[in-house]
């Protein structure tokens, strides 16, 4: 039977139940929202928001104390994401801790303070005489960490180091500030961020293992990324403009007190340059410096110069070099440089030479360290346009210490040319203990390759075209053993040989344009 009274009671009960559900839902939302603001939620305003810890983000207030409080809070809870929402965070030294991720959101900038007193002083290092000062200290940096694990710095925000100074006088000492410095860390990810004017280094990593770097844009006045005494490193999809220094450089210094190799490194899908006006890589306008700007245009990928521990198992592939120096593989401080593969590289407007391999004896390290070795290198599929012709690509050891087992395949070089007959007679100094640079020997007596103190060299499927007539030979060999030239094309210039051979043994050619197939057991002061 229908009962209005009973129906009203049921309606009231339903209303009360609905009200209870609404209250519970609101409570749950509040709890979850509070949890989201204290727990890491990558890419949102959750995590340990630096503004919760009184960071202002106004570009005027020093925010590093608040940032470090947020990191401390996350570390105390076992780890988490320290979140930077949009804003400009003026900062001195930021202290990373284990299990911490810094997330710099779109529109967020960490701006280095102009006050040297806001940065930590460089820590002592008893081995600092064996490498550059900048490689001996880490604490004097915008962001640094030591003896940490499981850390990450990810974007898509900006780190602006325009106020970082290479030489700041503090307590009568010279310091060289960096943007990011890591010492003896493991399981590190740096991804998606942009860095502008990074000080001495954009990233200095020493003794860092299991390290991934991906999709960075660095526009800087010194080094971009330094990989020192590191193992299992992956660098990919990065664009780096560094007109005054190297873009991506592997080193193996003595900064940790022993000779430690940099090994198992992959560098792929990167663009390096030394020719863009600072800031125009980041804003996408790519404005080039003019010749009147007198810029060194360094901006390359390199192994060396610090090379106590050597380099092993290195792969460089699918990279673009633009308006900079070329590839450099150097060991001069006693380390082994071995098992290197370089492939699929394009270069344009190279200011020195496309390829530079140097085994030397600078020997900046503990006394008694023997001369190192450079061996087992393969370089293939390289295209070069408009390379300076003052110096040919170089493979050079020193007397008694040879570069060994180098294969160079599938090259197309378009070099500027213009060399003279007088330059073809240049006697090249050894400079055994000099700092290694492609320009170290001055003008060379060849426009293609200068090879000296080497064994087991194979050059196959190579064409070298001078854009102006060049009166030097394409190839100059001195103290070379077991060398093969196969399928080589160079234009024939009247009165100019293809090869100038000095103290060469076991020399062979096959299908070399303008030269009959040749096998010579010995050749000295011979031209072909």
- Are 340 and 239 found together in one domain? no
Q: Which has the minimum average pLDDT: 89-98, 263-272, 382-391?
A: 382-391
pLDDT score for 389:
82
Residues 464-480 have a mean pLDDT of 97
Inter-residue contact 295 to 268 (CB < 8 Å): no
- The CA-to-CA distance between both ends of the chain, in Å, stands at 118
Alpha-carbon distance 318 to 271, whole Å? 9
Q: Is the four-CA dihedral 391, 392, 396, 398 of positive or negative sign?
A: negative
Examine the pLDDT at 12 and tell me if it is beyond 50. Answer: no
Task: Give the CA distances from residue 499 to residues 207, 279, 377, 486, 515, in Å, rounded to whole numbers and listed in that order.
Answer: 44, 45, 23, 13, 9
Tokens standing for residue 98: 């284990």
Q: Which has the minimum average pLDDT: 23-27, 289-293, 518-522?
A: 23-27
Q: Give domain status of residue 371, yes or no.
A: yes
- Are 84 and 179 found together in one domain? yes
Alpha-carbon distance 473 to 444, whole Å? 10
Q: Give domain status of residue 480, yes or no.
A: yes
Q: Give domain status of residue 158, yes or no.
A: yes
- Are 332 and 291 found together in one domain? no
pLDDT score for 47:
85
- Are 275 and 356 found together in one domain? no
- Are 297 and 372 found together in one domain? no
Q: H-helix or E-strand containing 75?
A: helix 64-76
Examine the pLDDT at 23 and tell me if it is beyond 50. Answer: no
pLDDT score for 176:
75
Inter-residue contact 498 to 444 (CB < 8 Å): no
Whether a cis peptide bond, with omega within 30° of 0, leads into 494 is no
pLDDT score for 353:
96
- Are 250 and 191 found together in one domain? yes
Residues 361-381 have a mean pLDDT of 96
Q: Could you tell me the pLDDT band of residue 477, with boundaries at 50, 70 and 90?
A: very high
Residue 234 belongs to what domain range? 65-256+269-302
- Are 283 and 354 found together in one domain? no
- Are 242 and 359 found together in one domain? no
pLDDT: which is higher, 5 or 324: 324
pLDDT score for 482:
98
- Are 287 and 362 found together in one domain? no
Q: Is the four-CA dihedral 26, 29, 34, 37 of positive or negative sign?
A: negative
Q: Could you tell me the pLDDT band of residue 173, with boundaries at 50, 70 and 90?
A: low
Q: Give domain status of residue 439, yes or no.
A: yes
- Are 284 and 393 found together in one domain? no
Q: Give domain status of residue 41, yes or no.
A: no
CATH of the domain at 242: 2.160.20.10
Mean pLDDT of the chain: 91
Q: Give domain status of residue 246, yes or no.
A: yes
Q: Give domain status of residue 399, yes or no.
A: yes
pLDDT score for 471:
96
Tokens standing for residue 363: 């020997």
Number of domains in the chain: 2
Q: Could you tell me the pLDDT band of residue 26, with boundaries at 50, 70 and 90?
A: very low
Q: Give domain status of residue 335, yes or no.
A: yes
- Are 397 and 488 found together in one domain? yes
């Amino acid at each position: 039977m229908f009962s209005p009274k009973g129906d009203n009671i049921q309606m009231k009960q339903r209303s009360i139940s609905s009200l209870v559900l609404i209250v519970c839902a609101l409570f749950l939302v509040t709890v979850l929202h509070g949890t989201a603001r204290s727990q890491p939620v990558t890419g949102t305003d959750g995590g340990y928001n630096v503004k919760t810890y009184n960071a202002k983000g106004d570009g005027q207030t020093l925010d590093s104390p608040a940032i470090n409080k947020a990191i401390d809070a996350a570390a105390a809870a076992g780890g988490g994401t320290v979140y930077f929402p949009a804003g400009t965070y003026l900062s001195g030294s930021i202290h990373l801790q284990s299990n911490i991720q810094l997330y710099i959101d779109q529109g967020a900038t960490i701006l280095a303070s102009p006050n040297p007193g806001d940065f930590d002083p460089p820590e002592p290092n008893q081995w600092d005489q064996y490498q550059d000062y900048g490689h001996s200290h880490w604490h004097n940096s915008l962001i640094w960490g030591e003896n940490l694990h499981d850390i990450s710095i990810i974007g898509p925000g900006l780190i602006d180091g325009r106020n970082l100074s290479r030489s700041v006088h503090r307590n009568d000492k010279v310091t060289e500030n960096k943007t990011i410095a890591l010492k003896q860390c493991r399981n590190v990810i740096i991804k998606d961020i942009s860095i502008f004017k990074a000080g001495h280094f954009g990233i200095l990593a020493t003794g860092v293992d299991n390290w991934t770097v991906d999709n960075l844009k660095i526009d800087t006045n010194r080094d971009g990324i330094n990989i020192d005494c590191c193992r299992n490193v992956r660098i990919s999809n990065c664009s780096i403009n560094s007109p005054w220094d190297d873009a991506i450089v592997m080193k193996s210094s003595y900064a940790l007190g022993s000779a430690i190799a940099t090994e198992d490194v992959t560098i792929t899908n990167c663009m390096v340059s030394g020719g863009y006006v600072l800031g125009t890589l980041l804003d996408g306008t790519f404005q080039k410096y003019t010749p009147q700007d007198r810029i060194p245009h360094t901006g390359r990928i390199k192994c060396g110069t610090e090379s106590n521990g050597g380099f092993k198992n290195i792969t460089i592939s699918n990279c673009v070099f633009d308006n900079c120096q070329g590839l450099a593989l150097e060991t001069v401080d006693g380390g082994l440089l071995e098992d290197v593969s370089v492939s699929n590289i394009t270069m344009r407007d190279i200011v020195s030479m496309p390829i530079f391999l140097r085994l030397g004896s600078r020997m900046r390290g503990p006394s008694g360290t023997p001369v190192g070795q450079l061996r087992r290198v393969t370089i293939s599929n390289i295209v070069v346009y408009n390379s300076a012709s003052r110096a040919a690509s170089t493979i050079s050891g020193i007397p008694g210490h040879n570069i060994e087992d180098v294969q160079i395949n599938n090259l197309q070089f378009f070099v500027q040319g213009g060399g003279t007959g007088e330059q073809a007679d240049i006697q090249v100094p050894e400079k055994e203990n000099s700092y290694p640079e492609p320009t170290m020997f001055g003008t060379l007596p060849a426009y293609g390759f200068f090879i000296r103190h080497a064994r087991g060299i194979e050059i196959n499927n190579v064409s070298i075209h001078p854009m102006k007539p060049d009166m030097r030979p394409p190839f100059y060999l001195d103290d070379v053993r077991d060398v093969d030239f196969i399928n080589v094309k160079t234009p024939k210039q009247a009165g100019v040989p293809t090869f100038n051979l000095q103290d060469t043994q076991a020399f062979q050619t096959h299908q070399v344009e303008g030269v009959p197939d040749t096998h010579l057991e010995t050749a000295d002061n011979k031209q072909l």
